[in-house]
Amino acid sequence: MKELLENIDKYLALPKDHKRDFLDELYQYLVNSNATAVDYQKVKIQSTAAICPDCKSENVIKAGKRNARQVYKCKTCGYQFRETARTFVYRMRKYPLMLDYMRCMLEGKSLRACADEVGICLKTSFEWRHKILAAIRALEG
pLDDT tens digits, 13-33: 777 677 667 666 766 666 666
pLDDT tens digits, 51-109: 888 898 989 999 999 888 889 999 999 999 887 777 777 777 777 788 888 888 888 89
Q: Is 70 left (phi over 0), alpha (psi -120 to 50) or beta?
A: beta
Cβ neighbors of 88 (< 8 A, separation 6 or more) are: 131, 132, 134, 135
pTM over 0.75: no
